[in-house]
Amino acid sequence: MTVTLREAQAKDLDALVRLEQVAFEGDQFSRRQLWHLLNRANAHILLVENAENRLLGHGILLFRRSSQRVRLYSFCVHPEVRGMGIGRQLLEALEQEARRCGGERLVLEVRADNRVALALYRRMGFTLQRWLEDYYEDGCAGWQMEKPLTAV
């Protein structure tokens, strides 16, 4: 499947809201939160689209001034296209963007019961750093993971 990666724009808000609704049962971003991330936050949002400009995934990076640690705040692939390599492509692009912006380490949180995501992150070089008890809104624990962003 041919996909395009691009930076999100304000006009993508409706599509981002729809993707959140189909991809996550809980812990979804609200429309207001997504608007803030698009327009006000020190964030970069990368989108994955197919040839018909349908949104297939997004990744949100948060940056802190005076820090080389970049947080992968959200990572989402549409359920219909999971397992097709889109997640790996998006994660590689997010790592490249974090590195381009001066990041030296990429950190994320992932549900402890999301074995598919945990496996992807491990394959991509992330390591488990810290157990996060009762981290998600439904009480599920999480893992904090981290990866050094060495020059490629």
- Every domain of the chain and the residues it spans: 4-109
Query: Could you tell me the CA-to-CA distances from 14 to 10, 18, 32, 90, 122 in Å, in that order?
Result: 9, 6, 11, 20, 32
Instruction: Report the topology of domain 4-109.
Output: Aminopeptidase (3.40.630)
Predicted confidence (pLDDT) per residue in 25-79, tens digit? 888 899 999 999 999 889 999 999 999 999 999 999 999 988 999 999 999 999 9
Three-state SS for 74? Answer: strand
* pTM summary value: 0.93
